[in-house]
Amino acid sequence: MNIKQLAFGLLTIGLISCNSTPKEKIKHSFFIAGHTYGKPAPRGEKELFKPFKAKFDFINEQQEIAFGVLLGDVVRYPNSWPNVIEELEELSMPIHIARGNHDGKLETFEKMFGPSYKKFSIKNDLFIILDPNIDKWNISGKQLDFLKKTLKEEGKEVTNIFVFMHQLIWYSKDIENFNIPKPNSLQNKDVITNYWEILEPLFIQTKKPVYLMAGDVGAFYRPKSKNIIEYSLHKKENITYITTGMGGGTRDNFIILDIYKDNSVKYRLVHLNGEDIKGLGELKLTH
């Protein structure tokens, strides 16, 4: 799988059974993984987080998975991309990337992977990748125009809307239930972003199930914390908020989303530490 295929590969779906997921009931599946360079090290490593890469065989065995989305900070340093791209070629499905603050300058990133914000559709579900790095965690300017147009023209006809990004653009220390989990970093964040004023109303107006997914969590293990910081699931109105990440060494994870023929969505929280992939239990509403 070459670079072009990584970003824009044709999405093929094989509905074959895996584990406890009934193949005849699944419409399609995909996986999301955040902060895949793992724990920041003094020198940094020019490869993917080893526990994540160790699960590549497992991912490839799940033949119902049509594609994967890496939710930013795929690399710590942009010069790691050649090594990481070579590693990603070991996955048997197309991989899309939501640019993180460590993944390089916009121009360089887009030369490798195409536009940093884009859309695609599969089986009447809409998928949107956003890039909050462009404007301090805001979705503004041409990117906001793109989002509005996409939701207006395509949102009416689809069943589910899935939106991917690196930063937790909904995070606010002053809003109950949205002040956890705290992101790995608040780098380049505007004092006040436009999520609650502009974006949330847009998503609510679709009157469709909207799933927002971000990956800047889980790089650090905080044993004294009362809250799980490596993953979360929260719902408000018609919007479901999901975070996933790795690097802490204890609750590292990625998530498989199964979309069923009845249009319901179920989650498989995959534990990266140890042999038990179900070691974290189910992904449940955290607050």
C-alpha span between 173 and 268 (Å, rounded): 28
Question: Which position has the token pair 């360079």?
Answer: 37
Question: What do you get for the CA distance between the two ends of the chain, in Å?
Answer: 40
Closest C-alpha to 244, from 271, 206, 274 = 271
Q: How confident is the model at residue 160 (pLDDT cuts 50, 70, 90)?
A: very high
Q: How confident is the model at residue 9 (pLDDT cuts 50, 70, 90)?
A: very low
Q: Enter the pTM of the model.
A: 0.91
Q: pLDDT tens-digit profile of 42-67?
A: 666 789 999 999 999 999 999 999 99
Decide if pLDDT at 21 tops 70.
Answer: no
Once rounded to an integer, what is the mean pLDDT over residues 273-282? 95
C-alpha span between 246 and 249 (Å, rounded): 7
Tokens representing 189? 């964040």
Residue 197, SS3 per DSSP: helix
Decide if pLDDT at 277 tops 60.
Answer: yes
Q: pLDDT tens-digit profile of 166-209?
A: 999 999 999 999 999 999 999 999 999 999 999 999 999 999 99
Tokens representing 132? 């909050």
* Mean per-residue pLDDT over the chain, rounded: 91
Tokens representing 202? 């847009």
Residue 33 identity: A
Closest C-alpha to 64, from 87, 33, 92, 95 = 92
Exposed/middle/buried for 281, CB within 10 Å: 0-12, 13-18, 19+? exposed
Tokens representing 51? 């526990």
Residue 142 identity: K
Q: pLDDT tens-digit profile of 139-157?
A: 999 999 999 999 999 999 9
Pick the CATH number of 3-10+24-271 from 3.40.50.300, 3.10.20.600, 3.60.21.10, 3.30.365.10: 3.60.21.10
Residue 44's pLDDT is what?
Answer: 62
Asked, as a colleague might, if the bond just before 94 is cis with ω within 30 of 0, I would say no
Q: pLDDT tens-digit profile of 106-151?
A: 999 999 999 999 999 999 999 999 999 999 999 999 999 999 999 9
Once rounded to an integer, what is the mean pLDDT over residues 274-278? 94
Residue 112 identity: M
Decide if pLDDT at 89 tops 70.
Answer: yes
Q: How confident is the model at residue 287 (pLDDT cuts 50, 70, 90)?
A: low
Pairing of strands 161-165, 231-236: unpaired
Residue 141, SS3 per DSSP: helix
Question: Which position has the token pair 């884009």?
Answer: 118
Decide if pLDDT at 14 tops 80.
Answer: no
